[in-house]
Amino acid sequence: MALLPHLTPTPVKPAVTRNHCQIFGSVYLERNPIYKNTASHVVYLGEEEAFANMVVYRENNKLFADGTAIWFITPNKAFADHILYVTEQRYQADFTVHFTDVRSFATCRD
């Protein structure tokens, strides 16, 4: 007995995971809650490096923001590779970010 195609159950696809470690390049930090849904991630900017999921180096040149946790903060949303919504509440964030002044300290922690 063959099953008809319209009666065959469709396979369940796994949920798409958004890996924050793949964020680099030009980044726009959205702070207006009206545009929260247009952001790919919600981040909390923390002061403590020890508790951050990502230690980010802020690059001054977009061309050199080419590695994990190396961001060029763009003032224009239209030129951003990634749009991140900044929250003031740590529990609402997908991950936490701490900015460092040393490029070699930039890292992503899972």
What are the beta bridge partners of residue 6?
Answer: none
Q: What pairing do the DSSP bridges indicate for beta strands 70-73 and 95-100?
A: unpaired
Task: Give the pLDDT mean for 13-37.
Answer: 83
pTM listed for this prediction? 0.81
Task: Give the pLDDT mean for 43-50.
Answer: 95
SS3 at position 34:
helix
Res. 14 pLDDT band, cuts 50 70 90? very low
Q: Where are the domains of the chain?
A: 21-108
Each residue of 85-100: pLDDT tens digit?
A: 999 999 999 999 999 9
